[in-house]
Structure 1
Amino acid sequence: MTAEAPLVPALPYGRLIPVTVHFDDLDALGLLHNARYPLMAERAWAELWREHGITFDGDWAAAGDACHAVRELRVSYEAPVTRPGAYAVHLWLERLGTTGLTYGFRLCSADGTETYAHGTRVLVRLDAHTLRPAPWSERFRVAGRALLRSRD
């Protein structure tokens, strides 16, 4: 007899990326530290973009679309994460512009049904030499369009 994997509900947009909350992510009260929520989202995005061959290894000149800066971060906390274990981050794009984007995220239960926090982050793609806004590559734009919440 084998155990069946739990069914993950189909998401109407975006992707659900598994993440792990470790014991040392919890604060002195045993709650996921507030700074860890956006960190979980960042790790999930890194995993998602790695699937598309977009990675950062410390070389800004070679980073391409991974050369970007955060312009804004907003997080709302809905319910505390009280134990280590398997969770997920639901990721999507709200807006994909020429040099910037806004992505949405939700730290949630592994099956995506319970939300612990949600937020948005605005990124600006940078030229590695001038640190001025630069356009996203077409490869990045193709991958990003598939994540748009609304494709109108």
Structure 2
Amino acid sequence: MTAEAPTAPAPPYGRLVPVTVHFDDLDALGLLHNARYPVLVERAWGALWQESGFGFTGDWEAAGDACNAVKELRVTYDVPVTTAGEYAVHLWLERLGTTGLTYGFRFCSADGAVTYAHGTRVLVRLDAATLRPAPWSERFRALGRELLRP
């Protein structure tokens, strides 16, 4: 299966986070398995938030903004990934609300020029005790505003 991937420079917003596709991420046809894209995007977000001081260390109450749940996930597969190796995930925020956010992503070549898949994911910040929506902290919102797409 051959397909021409559209190429374009990475947009000047958000962050490009390196990820690695391993041989065992490929399916029987030698393509990156469709379920691996969201996992790799999740790992990229995890690395970005961890780098910014947000993360989960076993205590949901202490996790603060890292205590959140996925409400919606949409992925469009543009061109198949056919080899293991170094890639990137381009991440940004589409919307930053009081208790929720929508982020955009592109699974792309390491330089951000080729897009293999793109999509959005909606997250809701949760109160660890009640599992009800809770507001993002101001520290989190400040970082989020830096990632907003113009």
| TM-score, normalization by structure 1 | 0.91
List aligned pairs for 1:1-150, cutoff 5 A.
11-150=11-150
1:62/1:70 Cα in 2 relative to 1: closer, same or farther (>3 Å)?
same
**Equivalenced residues, count:** 142
Runs of 4+, deviation exceeding 4 Å = none
Structure 1, unaligned runs of 5 or more: 1-8
**Structure 1 residue identity aligned to 2:106:** R
**Structure 2 residue identity aligned to 1:14:** G
Report how far residue 17 of structure 1 moved.
Answer: 0.3
Secondary structure at 2:149 match in 1: coil
**Structure 1 residue identity aligned to 2:149:** R
Q: Tell me the alpha carbon deviations over residues 13-52 of structure 1, each in whole angstroms, 9 at most, x when there is no partner.
A: 1000000001111111111000111111100000100111
CA distance in 2, matches of 1:58, 1:104: 27
Q: Bigger CA drift: 92-101 or 51-60?
A: 51-60
Secondary structure at 1:72 match in 2: strand
CA distance in 2, matches of 1:35, 1:102: 20
**Structure 2 residue identity aligned to 1:124:** V
Q: Tell me the alpha carbon deviations over residues 110-145 of structure 1, each in whole angstroms, 9 at most, x when there is no partner.
A: 000000000000000000000000000011000000
CA distance in 2, matches of 1:141, 1:52: 12
**Structure 2 residue identity aligned to 1:123:** L
| TM-score, normalization by structure 2 | 0.92
Report how far residue 58 of structure 1 moved.
Answer: 2.5
Q: Tell me the alpha carbon deviations over residues 86-110 of structure 1, each in whole angstroms, 9 at most, x when there is no partner.
A: 0000000000000000000000000
CA distance in 2, matches of 1:108, 1:35: 16
Report how far residue 10 of structure 1 moved.
Answer: 6.1
Give 1:3's aligned residue.
none
Secondary structure at 2:147 match in 1: coil
RMSD: 0.9
Matched-pair contact (CA < 8 Å) for 2:10–2:112:
no
